[in-house]
Structure 1
Amino acid sequence: MSEIFPWTPAAVVFDCDGTLMDSERHWVEARSLVLRAHGVEPDEEFTELAKGIHYTECGRLMAVTAGRPELADEMTAGLLHAFRTLVAEDPVTTAGAAELVERAAQFAPLAVASNCPRDVVEHCLDTAGLLEHFLHVIVPAGTTRPKPHPDVYLTAAAEFGADPGDCLAVEDSLCGIRAAVRAGLRVLGVGPRPDRESFAMADHWVRSLADPALQVWARSRALCGVAR
């Protein structure tokens, strides 16, 4: 079925970690390495709280979890160092990501909206051969607040001169979905085990970007022509 969405987005804005890049596992491992260095084993509750949040907020969360709130900056720096090292060793796209990006770029301008540092996002996408498809990489900076604030999505829509309601966000985390919904974008949620709130807020949900109906939808929109 080609009508997952019965409209063509004015722009498509992708999250990066866990959505385009299979890097959430790197964040999980990086968080675990830092916490274990301080004698703490991350549990399921910590893992859920940490998913998708800005790395500085994650550093504060780790410091509180370790009972050492004064070490937030140090643990944030350790988290970034560990993550960059892990990503450099093994940058891998999620299933279906490359195909979806290439097809979406044929019918809409694309952006990435991420809570990660710009250099990490651009390095990951460049290594995967996807960076060339994106006109903008939007990350928190200055007055642009991180997800779950709507700022990165509002900025992306503004960069394209598009109404947020005419844009599609592609997200895998509750934090990111909250940001996109607050910005007024329609949301394609992705992941095998969505939590109840994420599933309820998304306009459509797929287990992965390789979902056959999603790929058919993108192919059918691409055949209609280039929107750039």
Structure 2
Amino acid sequence: MTTTAHDLLDWSPEAVIFDCDGTLMDSERHWQEARNRAFREYALQPPPGFADKATGLHYEDCGRLMARSVHKPELAEGLTAALLDHFLALVTDDPATMPGAVQLVRLLSVRLPLAVASNCPRVVVEGSLERAGLREHFQHIVVPDTGDGMRPKPHPDVYAVAARLCGVRPDRALAVEDSLTGVKAARRAGLRVLGVGPRPQGDGAARADLWLPALHAPELVTWAHSCAIRRPLPES
């Protein structure tokens, strides 16, 4: 169920859970370049429209999709490893936040519990937020680590766990996302969703309660200032 902008921005959640890539950190361009480099490493060309299909996927799912898209499923493991290696090199050399991310996170962190729910490896999320000076503002980082049983987005697991760790019911938490994969995951977990960045084509974006062009949209900053302060629960 969608709401109007007035409805969502009149609501005060009890926690806010952010995606990382493309939402807080300007790293989606690094994933795109890493995909291109991995394809080139294997003397392959990405098929038309591949970037749209890959946005927001867990890197292992992306590696498998890369292999399937060029009809070479036997290359899935190699492409996945190359993808991650190239991305780590790029994001280490050029970490950058999305416009408005620092201000919004700082405003909200004194009012509400904050978490990150990401498909990225933990080392990437932790390192990116640390370099951006944002890590201290988040009580929890939730990623689908190998062996913990959590499935990556578009499954709801990371959002469901993040809400629980913040001590709130999913329907009292707000997810902030830039991809349809992430919007779907947050919806499946029962969260309300704010989409940010370029609005995706098609009707998938309608699953978000509201879509704004950036984190520094004036109405979003005003809303952050007005959020009721809620003392965060102690970490378990």
Q: TM-score range by the shorter chain?
A: over 0.9
Structure 2 residue 132 is matched with structure 1 residue 144: no
Structure 2 residue 94 is matched with structure 1 residue 101: no
Structure 1 gaps of 5+ residues are none
- The within-5 A match list for 1:37-116 is 37-116=41-120
Q: Do 1:2 and 1:220's aligned partners in 2 also have CA atoms closer than 8 Å?
A: no
Structure 2 gaps of 5+ residues are none
- The within-5 A match list for 1:1-228 is 4-141=8-145, 142-221=148-227, 224-228=228-232
Q: Do 1:4 and 1:214's aligned partners in 2 also have CA atoms closer than 8 Å?
A: no
| Counterparts of 1:2 and 1:66, CA distance in 2 | 45
Q: Do 1:35 and 1:66's aligned partners in 2 also have CA atoms closer than 8 Å?
A: no
- Residue 67 of structure 1, CA deviation: 2.9
Letter of the structure 2 residue corresponding to residue 105 of structure 1: S
User: Higher mean Cα deviation, 189-198 or 71-80?
Assistant: 189-198
- Residue 163 of structure 1, CA deviation: 0.7
What CA deviation, in whole Å up to 9, does each residue of 1:123-177 have, x standing for no partner?
A: 0000000000000000013211000000000001111221100000000000000
- Residue 40 of structure 1, CA deviation: 2.4
- Residue 197 of structure 1, CA deviation: 3.0
| Counterparts of 2:200 and 2:75, CA distance in 1 | 32
- Report the 3-state secondary structure (helix = DSSP H, G, I; strand = E; otherwise coil) of the residue aligned with 1:196: coil
Q: Do 2:199 and 2:211's aligned partners in 1 also have CA atoms closer than 8 Å?
A: no
- Report the 3-state secondary structure (helix = DSSP H, G, I; strand = E; otherwise coil) of the residue aligned with 1:52: coil
- Residue 195 of structure 1, CA deviation: 2.5
**Aligned positions, number:** 226
* Percent identical: 54
- Report the 3-state secondary structure (helix = DSSP H, G, I; strand = E; otherwise coil) of the residue aligned with 1:91: coil
Q: Do 1:153 and 1:179's aligned partners in 2 also have CA atoms closer than 8 Å?
A: yes
Relative to structure 1, the CA distance from residue 169 to residue 86 in structure 2 (aligned partners, 3 Å threshold; closer, same or farther) is same
- Report the 3-state secondary structure (helix = DSSP H, G, I; strand = E; otherwise coil) of the residue aligned with 1:122: helix
